[in-house]
Structure 1
Amino acid sequence: MSGDRKDDHVRLAAAQQAAGARVNGFDDVTFVHHALDGIDADRVSLHTEIAGTRLPLPFYINAMTGGSEMTGAVNRDLAIAARETGVAIASGSVSIALGDPDVASTFRVLRDENPDGFVMANLGVERSADDALRAVELLDADALQVHVNAVQETVMPEGSRSFSTWPASLERIVAAVDVPVIVKEVGFGLSARTLQRLADIGVAYADVSGNGGTDFVRVENERRPRRDYTYLEGWGQSAVACLLDAPAGAPELLASGGVRSPLDVARALALGARGVGVSGSFLSVVLDGGAEALRERISDWAMHLTSLLALLGAEDLAALRSTDVVVGGATAEFCAARGVDLSALAQRTLGRSSNVR
């Protein structure tokens, strides 16, 4: 894996953001408005707990990049913004740094610029347990994201086509590292079946990372001479569909994939996510305006999210998960086919018991 590929990923992901809105499962989620339910904003707390750590904000800078001079500069700006706002931050895959120590600093900058922050290292599921330990050590990481990306690998010109060893590899990683392991898709979603398998392996945390944001089929297909995998664009489930489809015994859930606004953050939190990862929306900001622009954007999102919870009458995230939510569109069709009952979500303030999985 080369630094050029890392630069390509940033360039192509930014181009997708610039191209504008895509079909997104978050648009299928509507809060029921109760005009007299609002509370004072100064009563609202946005604190959450992610992977056993209490954090001041329930959204975070999700895995993006590293591995070249340009992406190292991006990571520096991301880390500064994280330090100044208190949000958690995840690295891009550090695999390239494990093989090339010369680029390790492009990842290590996340910790160097953010010494007291909550930092997640990121590594592919196919890597060894020893590599996982090295990834955590490189960033002095508080948690390890292990990404699963079979769809991306399928389209990637130099990608793997061998996936059968992944569950055993993941089990070895979970057993080896002494920080929380968060299994993360890269934008194609984690199904109920997958979430149950993760729980059975012993995974305690999972980022469902659904479609609707950066599409790595499109990213990798642009790197193919014939652009011959266009038909796979849009593959997978949205974060919203994954949250609704999650089984009762699922790992503690985080959500990402196509998060465009504080409203999308509130939607994911209301459907059970403990935290919400943001990549593409923040990448565009940092590329255009650097660390200061992203700091301002994160601060604005925190203010807006506080206002939304006040509007909904929710003092904290637990109360937000009791607000009335209506799910329609393609997501409702998906849930009907999967046997997920959505009716209780729309009547939660009536105190009726929920049978949503």
Structure 2
Amino acid sequence: MTHRDPHATGDVTDGGGQPPSHRHLYGLPFPSRTSPLATTAAEANGRWASAVGLVRADRASWLADCAPHLAAARMYPDAQSPQLALVTAYLTWLFVLDDRLDHDPADGTAGSRSLTDLAALLGDPPSTAAPEPLLGALADLRRRTRALAPQTLSTRLDAHLRQTFDAFATEAQHRREGTPPTESQYIDLRRRTSCAWIFADLAELAHDTETLPLLHTSTEYHAQVACAADIAGWDNDLVSLARETARDENDNLVSVLARRHGWTPERAGEEVARRIGQRVREYPAAERRTLAHIAASGLRGPERTRHEDVIVSFRDVLAGVLAWNHGDTLRFSVPRTTTGPDHPGGTPDADPRP
């Protein structure tokens, strides 16, 4: 596996030979690449999402608009076909869950039940038997994960899914109680809702490997993942601001800063962009500290190399998220005010919600 030095400069291109739309965005010092298997992943994902009931027939266009296959292809460009298909399915499932929570009634009870049911499912042995599509799809993902990955990695991924569900539940509680988070609360919560630790686990799955606890339990590793989480999560807050404002949502760093400081959304957005740029500048040093930790661990030869390769591949994950946010998906478009045969409302996996 070959990756460019994070301090390298010069023109970069995506898989099609064209400069990516996020080129030099926030000063990110490494390029986004795209897997040549993106189309294959999209076809396999469409079949899977339909088979498990995650995307209804009348919402097939949702997959094309959301483009989870492009997110996976950019984030994990070196993955082989089975791994890329599974990663694409995970991202699709996470987007459907996000839509389910976004369309939850104001009291938040339906979303809370979904999160409780999902967390309970993670405590059961992998199975395809579940009462509704969101649960059934997760059960199928867990079964497929255990067929491709070591049980210890699968268990770690389950734990990070559960942590993410808990963070989503906290967000729902804030909305339900009308008590928006403070700035420090939001930043901590956003790191967990960004799914960054899930994405880190999927990097190991995508590269058909598993890191030792001496790496993934280290302070250096978690600081690097947290830095990536801030960059990706806060950028997501910027690109989704118009959509969330239209839905009267406040789980966004722009909204949090505007409320705290009495700023306009424009001024708060400028501050968020500045902070993203700062974290981008800090990321190479965070990566170097993790690589230095591996070097000092005593690992040698191929064992050391595969751990280093996973850490350096996080560049692809981060650059891929930004490229997808800014150029590949319609997910952050302001929602339409009307529905009809071509633009049905609700979520892709269930009947439209009130």
Per the TM superposition, whether the score is higher than 0.5 is no
Which one has the bigger helix percentage? 2
Higher relative CO (CA 8 A, sep ≥ 6), structure 1 or 2? 2
The TM-score with structure 1 as length reference comes to: 0.30
Which one has the bigger strand percentage? 1
The TM-score with structure 2 as length reference comes to: 0.30
